[in-house]
C-alpha cells in the first residue's frame, strides 16, 4: 500500500518529538475502515480493507512512515502541566489529500511512549468507536474536525476501572496535531527559539498567506483566535459540549480534536455537563465561549515575546487581539443563529428574537435539535412546536414576531442548517454496547444517519427522537483512559 508520505514535522521540527514505535499487538483485526475518508486521501480503500489490520495497528509500518510522539504541555482544568505529550499516540506521517491539503495520520492507543507518565498507552474499544462516531457526526454537520480513518481491535485485553476491556486503536486524520499546548511546552521552558520555529511552521502549514503580513506572529495569533471562535460558535449552534477544553485539546488549525467525554445536549440548559471529571462545570455547555477566550489568552502568553521585543508593547498587542475574541465569537454565533431561524438579512432586533426563543426553550428544557428543526414546520403551522415544547402557548407571540422576519423559502433554509439527526447519547451508548457484543450494525446505521444529518429519511424515525425521560439527567461521559 503506497501512502506517499511527506513528513514535514519530523523533517523540520527536530527536538519537538521523540522517534518511537508502536507496541506489538497480539491479534489485530480491522473493525472499520472509513472508505469515504480513504477516498479523500487518495488511498486504495479495497487494498486497505485487506491490509489495514497490520497497518492501522502499527504492526506493519508503511513505507515512508516516520512514527514519532509529539511533545506538548497544557492547562488541564486551569492548572498547568508542563509535560503532557503523546502518551498513547504516534504521528506516523503526513499525506496530501485530493484537494492538496496536508493531513496527519496518527495512531491513538498504540502503546507507551516517553510521555505516558505511568499510564499504559492503550485505548479501548468503546472510546475508540465513540471518537470515530462523533467525529463523523461533526463532519456530517459541516464542522471542522479530525476524523477516523480506521478502527482496529488489537486482541489484547486492557485493564481499566471497570475491569478488562477489549483493546483498540484509532487511526486519526487531522489538519495537524499542533495544539495551544505545543507552544506552551516550549514557552514554559523559555525556549523562545523553538516557539518561533513552531510558529513559522504553523503559519506555513495552516495560514501561509500570513507569512507576508507586516507582523506575521500577531496575524497568526489573530487567525487562530478567529478559527477557534468560529469553531466554538459552531459547537454552540448544534448543542455540542466538548467536555475537556484543556489547552492541549485545542488545535491551532481550528479543528475539533480529542473526543473524550464530549456529548450533544438534548434539553436546553446552559449548565449542562456530562463529563464525570468536570466536577465544577468548568466545561459546561454555556461556559465554552469563555473557555475559548481563556485558552486563547494562554496562547497569547506563549507567543508574547514574538509580538514585540518590548514586553509592555507585546502585551498590548496580545490584549488588542484577545479583546476581539468575544465580538468575533458573538458575530459568528449570531450569523449562525440567523440561519437557524431562517431570517432574511440582518436586523437590530435579531439577537433579542433569538434570546427570547432560547429563554423559552430553557424554561421548557426543550430539545435543542428538534426545536430548531420543527421551526421549519412552524413557518406555516401554529401547532408545529407543540410536540417538543410543553409551553407552546407562550410562543404564539414569539412566532408572530419571528414570522415577520422570515426569508423566502424559510422552511427549506431552516431544514438545510438544522439537523434532524445528531449523535444522541442513548443511541451512541446503544451502538457501543452492541459493538462490545460483536455487532457493529447499530454503529453503522447511526453513522449512516449522521453522514447526512439534514435530510429526513424514512426508517430512521427512532434516531431523531430524544432519549427516554430521565436518561440524560443521570448520563455521565468519561475520558478515554
Tell me the closest approach of the beta carbon of residue 22 to ligand AMP, in angstroms: 13
Q: How far is it, in rounded angstroms, from Cα 106 to Cα 67?
A: 9
Cα-Cα-Cα-Cα dihedral of 164, 165, 171, 174, to 10°?
Answer: -90
Residue from 86, 131, 136, 230 that binds ligand AMP (CB under 6 A)?
Answer: 86
Among residues 86, 248, 278, 367, the one annotated as catalytic is: 248
Q: Which of 32, 59, 103, 122 binds ligand AMP (CB under 6 A)?
A: 122
User: Which grid cell is 473?
Assistant: 439527567
CB closer to ligand AMP, 88 vs 374: 88
Alpha helices in 365-424 (DSSP H): 368-378, 396-403, 410-417
| φ, ψ of residue 357 in degrees (nearest 5) | -65, -45
88 touches ligand AMP by CB under 6 A:
yes
Q: Does 188 bind ligand AMP (CB under 6 A)?
A: no
Return all residues near 466 (Cβ < 8 A) that are at least 6 apart.
266, 267, 367, 370, 424
- Is 111 labeled as ligand-binding? no
For residues 210 to 249, the per-residue mask of contacts with ligand AMP, x marking binding by CB under 6 A and - elsewhere, is ----------------------------------x---xx
27 binds, among Mg ion, ligand AMP, none (CB under 5 to 8 A by kind): none
Residue 71 or 322: which CB sits closer to ligand AMP? 71
Q: Compute the least distance from the CB of residue 72 to Mg ion, in Å.
A: 9
Question: The C-alpha cell of 342 is what?
Answer: 431562517
Nearer residue to Mg ion within complex by CB, 278 or 367:
278
- C-alpha cell of 438? 460483536
Cα distance between residue 114 and residue 122, in whole Å = 14
Q: Which residues bind Mg ion (CB under 5 A)?
A: 249, 258
Among 12, 120, 191, 215, which residue sits at the site for ligand AMP (rule: CB under 6 A)?
A: 120
Residues numbered 245-264 forming contacts with ligand AMP, rule: CB under 6 A: 248-249, 258, 260
Q: In 3-state terms, what secondary structure has residue 431? A: helix
Sorted by sequence, the CB contacts under 8 Å of residue 151 that are 6+ apart come out as: 30, 31, 32, 56, 128, 129, 132, 168, 169, 170, 171
Tell me the binding residues for Mg(2+).
249, 258
Residues marked active site are found at 248
| Interacting residues with ligand AMP (CB under 6 A) | 84-88, 115-116, 119-122, 244, 248-249, 258, 260, 479-481
Amino acid at each position: 500500500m503506497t501512502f506517499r508520505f511527506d513528513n514535514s514535522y519530523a523533517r523540520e521540527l527536530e527536538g519537538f518529538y521523540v522517534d518511537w514505535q508502536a507496541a506489538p499487538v497480539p491479534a489485530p483485526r480491522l473493525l472499520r475502515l472509513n472508505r469515504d475518508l480513504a477516498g479523500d486521501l487518495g488511498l486504495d480503500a479495497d487494498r486497505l480493507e485487506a491490509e489495514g489490520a497490520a497497518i492501522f495497528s502499527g504492526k506493519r509500518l508503511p513505507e515512508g512512515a516516520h512514527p514519532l510522539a509529539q511533545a506538548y504541555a497544557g492547562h488541564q482544568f486551569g492548572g498547568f502541566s508542563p509535560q503532557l505529550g503523546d502518551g498513547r499516540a504516534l504521528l506516523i506521517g503526513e499525506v496530501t489529500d485530493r484537494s492538496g491539503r496536508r493531513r496527519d495520520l496518527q495512531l491513538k492507543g498504540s502503546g507507551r511512549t516517553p510521555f505516558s507518565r505511568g499510564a499504559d498507552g492503550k485505548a479501548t474499544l468503546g472510546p475508540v468507536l465513540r471518537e470515530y462516531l462523533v467525529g463523523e457526526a461533526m463532519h456530517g454537520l459541516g464542522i471542522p474536525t479530525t476524523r477516523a480513518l480506521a478502527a482496529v481491535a488489537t486482541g489484547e485485553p486492557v485493564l481499566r476501572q471497570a475491569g478488562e476491556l477489549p483493546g483498540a486503536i484509532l487511526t486519526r486524520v487531522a489538519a495537524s496535531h499542533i495544539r495551544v499546548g505545543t507552544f506552551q511546552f516550549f514557552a514554559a521552558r523559555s525556549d523562545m527559539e523553538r516557539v518561533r520555529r513552531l510558529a513559522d511552521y504553523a503559519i506555513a502549514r495552516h495560514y501561509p498567506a500570513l507569512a507576508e503580513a507586516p507582523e506575521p506572529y500577531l496575524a497568526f495569533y489573530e487567525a487562530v483566535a478567529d478559527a477557534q471562535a468560529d469553531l466554538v460558535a459552531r459547537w454552540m449552534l448544534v448543542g455540542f459540549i466538548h467536555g475537556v477544553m484543556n489547552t492541549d485539546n485545542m488545535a491551532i488549525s481550528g479543528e475539533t480534536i480529542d473526543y473524550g467525554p464530549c456529548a450533544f445536549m438534548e434539553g436546553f440548559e446552559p449548565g449542562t455537563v456530562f463529563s464525570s471529571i468536570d466536577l465544577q462545570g468548568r466545561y459546561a455547555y454555556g461556559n465554552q465561549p469563555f473557555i475559548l477566550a481563556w485558552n486563547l489568552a494562554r496562547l497569547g502568553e506563549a507567543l508574547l515575546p514574538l509580538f514585540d521585543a518590548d514586553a509592555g508593547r507585546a502585551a498590548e498587542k496580545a490584549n488588542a487581539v484577545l479583546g476581539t475574541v468575544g465580538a468575533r465569537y458573538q458575530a459568528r454565533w449570531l450569523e449562525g443563529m440567523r440561519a437557524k431561524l431562517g431570517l432574511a438579512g440582518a436586523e437590530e432586533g435579531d439577537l433579542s428574537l433569538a434570546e427570547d426563543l432560547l429563554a423559552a426553550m430553557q424554561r421548557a428544557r426543550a430539545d435543542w435539535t428538534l426545536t430548531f428543526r420543527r421551526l421549519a414546520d412552524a413557518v406555516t403551522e401554529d401547532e408545529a412546536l407543540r410536540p417538543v415544547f410543553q409551553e407552546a402557548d407562550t410562543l404564539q407571540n414569539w412566532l408572530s414576531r419571528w414570522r415577520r422576519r422570515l426569508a423566502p423559502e424559510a422552511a427549506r433554509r431552516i431544514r438545510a442548517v438544522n439537523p434532524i439527526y445528531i449523535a444522541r447519547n442513548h443511541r451512541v451508548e446503544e451502538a457501543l454496547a452492541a459493538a462490545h457484543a460483536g455487532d457493529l450494525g447499530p454503529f453503522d446505521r447511526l453513522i449512516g444517519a449522521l453522514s447526512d444529518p439534514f435530510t429526513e429519511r424514512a426508517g430512521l424515525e427512532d434516531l431523531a427522537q430524544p432519549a427516554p425521560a430521565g436518561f440524560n439527567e443521570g448520563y455521565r461521559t468519561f475520558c478515554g483512559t
